[in-house]
Amino acid sequence: MIIDLGRFIAEERPYWRELEGLLDQLEKEPVLRLDLARIQRFHYLYQRTSAGLAKITGCSADQKIRLFLENLVARAYGNIHETRQKRVAIDCRGWFFNTFPITFRRHVKAFFISLAVMAMGGVFGGLALTLDPLAKEILIPFSHLEDSPAQRVAREEQRALERKAEPKSAFSAFLMTHNTRVSIFVLALGFTFGLGTMILLFYNGVILGAVAADYILADKTTFLLGWLLPHGSIEIPSILIAGQAGLIIAGAMLGRQSSLPLILRLRRLADDLVTLITGVALLLIWAGLIEAFFSQYHEPVIPYGLKIAFGLLELFLLTLFLFRSGKKTERVLPHVDVDT
Amino acid sequence: MSMSTPKTRTLTIRTPEGIAFSLQLAGPLIRFLAWSIDLAAISALSGVLKTVIDLIGLISADLAQAVLMAAYFLVSIGYGIVCEWNFQGRTLGKKLLGLRVVDGQGLRLQFSQVIIRNLIRFVDTLPLFYLVGGLAVLLSPRSQRLGDMAANTLVARNPEIAEPDLQQLLPDKFNSLRTYPHLAARLRQQISTPEAAVALSALLRREALAPLARLGLYHELAVHFKNKVEFPEEAVIGLSDEQYLRNVVDILFQETSRAYRA
C-alpha cells in the first residue's frame, strides 16, 4: 500500500507535536503528575501515534518517518505502561525511621545468614591464631597491628595525650569513604550468586576473630573492647547489612522459591536494595566519625569503661532501631510478598 | 508485551496494542568510548573541586583533605547516578555518542535502577578497565554488563530523530507529469510498494550519497520508472534524472490534486 504521505504527515503532525511536548515535559519533570483529563489525552495521543506507526510500517514510507514515530511511541509506551509508583518526594525522616528498618526486617533471614558467615569466619580466625600464633602475619595483614597487643596498648596509652592534638577529619573521611566502598563491593558481589559476598564476609570475620583472639590471649580484652566497640558496634552491623543486600541479590538470582523470571525478581527487589545500601552509608558516616574522634582515644584520656558502655549503648540502640522502629507503619502496610 | 533480540543486537518490543518498536543496542566499544569521556569529565570535575576545596586549606589543611576525600568519593559514585537520572539516562559521554540508558522492557527508568546499575559498576570494572563488564556485554544477548542485568537496564543508541521534512523533499512545484493524469494514475497502479519505497529513500538520502553514486543511482531509477510508464516527450523534456524521480515520487506519495497548479 502506498499512502499519501503529504496528507498523512499534514494531518498527524499536530498530534505528534502535542505528544512530543507532553513527553518532554514528563521527562524534564519526573515528579509531574497529570490530571485525569490530561492522562486521557495522553493515552489518546499514544494510541493515535501507534496507529500511525502501524499504518506507516505496512506501507512504503521512508525509514526516517518510521524511526521518528517509533521513537515517539517508545517514549510514550514507557510512560503509559509503567505501573511502578512514581517517586514524588523523599520524606527523609519517614524513610529513615520506617522504610529502612522495615526493609531490613523484611529480609532479616539474609541478615542472619550474613551474620552467621562472618561469625564462622571469626571462629576460624580465632582458632587459627590460637592454634598457630605464627600465622598472625597472614591472618592480620595490617602493619599497625603486627606488634604484640601488650606493646600496642603501652604505645597507645603513652601517646594518648599526643593524639588529642592530631588532626582527625581526613582520617574520618577516609574511614567513611573506604568503608562505604567496601560495603558497596560486598553488595555488588551478590551478583556472583552470593559467593563473593560470603567470601568477603568470611574474610572480614577471620581478621576480626584473629585480632580478638590475639588481644584476649594477651589479656588485653578491656583495651580491645574499648578500642573496637564504639565504632565497631555500628560499622560491623553495617557491613553485615551490606552482606544482607548482597545475599538478597544472590537469592533473587537463584530464585528457588519463585516462578518469576530473573528480570522480574530483581526488579521487585530494586527499591529494597537501594534502601539498604543507603542506610548502610548513613550508618558508616556515624561510625567513621566515632572511629576518628572517639575510638582512637584511650586511657588515661577516656576510661575504657566509658568507651565500652558507649559502644554497648550504641549496639543496643541500633538493635532496637532495626528490629522495632516503624512497627506501627508496618502493621498498616499491605503484606508485600518478596520472592528471594 | 513480548520482546525479541535478533543477532543484530536490536531489541524489538511489541506492545499490548500490537505495535512493535525497536531499540538498537550499544556494543562494548562505543560504551567503552563513552565511559572514557565520562572518566575525563569526572577528572575535570574533580580538578575544579580540588581548586575550590584548596581554599578551605587556608583555614585547616586537615579539614580540606577530609572534604576533598569525600568530594572525590561522591563525584566518582554520584556522577553516573545524577547524570542518568536528571538527563533521561544520559551521561556526558553517552550524550556525545548518542547513547542512552533505558529500562529493559521499554518502561520508564526508575531511580532505583539508576542507583543499582551504578553501584554494580564496582564488579564490572574488575579486575581492570571494565574487563568483567566488557566480557558480559560481549556475551550477553542484550549487550548488558552485570550492572545492567541487576537493574534490568539497557544501553541503547539514541540518535536525535527530527520530524521528517517532507516539504523539502516534495516542494510545491509544478510537476509536468501531472499534466497527464491518466498516465499518472497508471504509474501509481504499475509501481509496487517496495519500488516506491526505494525511490523515496533514494531522494531522502540525497545528501548521504557521493555525487557520482547519486547520479548513477538516480539514472538507474529514472530509467526503471520510464520503462514502467512512458510519458510524452513534452512532459519530460529538459528534466534531469533527479527531477524526473522527484516528479514520480510526488505522484506516488502526494495524491492530492496538484496537477494543474502551474
Chain-centroid distance of CA B70 in Å reads 37
**Greater model confidence, B234 or A118:** A118
Cα pseudo-dihedral A191, A195, A200, A202, rounded to 10: 150
- Measure CB to CB from residue A177 to each of B73, B113, B120 and give the nearest one: B73
Q: Give the three-class secondary structure for B102.
A: strand
**Predicted confidence pLDDT, tens digits, chain B (262 residues):** 555 544 457 888 888 877 788 888 888 889 889 999 999 999 999 999 888 888 887 877 878 888 888 888 889 889 999 999 888 889 999 999 989 998 888 888 888 899 999 988 888 887 777 888 888 888 888 888 888 888 889 998 876 666 656 665 656 677 888 888 888 888 888 888 778 878 888 887 888 888 888 899 999 999 998 888 888 888 888 888 888 888 888 888 776 544 444 3
Grid coordinates representing B90 are 544520559
Q: Is B63 on the interface with A (CB under 8 A)?
A: yes
Query: How far away is chain A from the Cα of B234, in angstroms, using its nearest Cα?
Result: 27
Please say if the pLDDT value at position A214 is more than 80.
yes
Nearest residue of A to residue B147, measured between CA atoms = A188
Distances in Å between the alpha carbon of A21 and those of A17, A24, B83, B108, B236? Answer: 6, 5, 22, 17, 44
pLDDT band at A34, cuts 50/70/90? confident
> How many beta-carbon pairs below 8 A join chains A and B?
173
What's the confidence (pLDDT) of residue B172? Answer: 64
Grid coordinates representing B23 are 531499540
pLDDT band at A334, cuts 50/70/90? low
What's the confidence (pLDDT) of residue B174? Answer: 77
Please choose, from the candidates A234, A229, A214, A46, the residue with its C-alpha nearest in 3D space to the C-alpha of residue A145. Answer: A214
What's the confidence (pLDDT) of residue B6? Answer: 46
Q: Where are the domains of chain B?
A: 2-157, 166-253
The residue among A22, A62, A86, A181 with the most chain B CBs within 10 A of its CB, best to mutate, is A62
ipTM of this model?
0.76
**Greater model confidence, A168 or A293:** A293
Q: Is B83 on the interface with A (CB under 8 A)?
A: no
What's the confidence (pLDDT) of residue A59? Answer: 63
Query: How far away is chain B from the Cα of A172, in angstroms, using its nearest Cα?
Result: 7
Chain-centroid distance of CA A121 in Å reads 23
Query: How far away is chain A from the Cα of B60, in angstroms, using its nearest Cα?
Result: 9
Chain-centroid distance of CA B149 in Å reads 23
pLDDT digits (tens, 9 = 90+) for A161-213: 676 667 667 777 887 888 888 888 899 899 889 999 999 999 999 999 999 99
What's the confidence (pLDDT) of residue A333? Answer: 61
Please say if the pLDDT value at position A5 is more than 90.
no
What's the confidence (pLDDT) of residue B166? Answer: 60
Work out the widest C-alpha separation in chain B, in whole angstroms: 91
Nearest residue of B to residue A281, measured between CA atoms = B74
pLDDT digits (tens, 9 = 90+) for A10-23: 788 888 889 988 88
Nearest residue of A to residue B150, measured between CA atoms = A266
What's the confidence (pLDDT) of residue A105? Answer: 95
Q: Where are the domains of chain A?
A: 5-80, 93-332
- Measure CB to CB from residue A184 to each of B23, B111, B119 and give the nearest one: B119
Query: How far away is chain A from the Cα of B257, in angstroms, using its nearest Cα?
Result: 11
Interchain contact, B122 vs A185, CB within 8 Å: yes
Q: Give the three-class secondary structure for B237.
A: coil
Query: How far away is chain B from the Cα of A181, in angstroms, using its nearest Cα?
Result: 9
Percent of chain A with pLDDT over 90: 35
**Greater model confidence, A333 or A97:** A97
Q: Is B207 on the interface with A (CB under 8 A)?
A: no
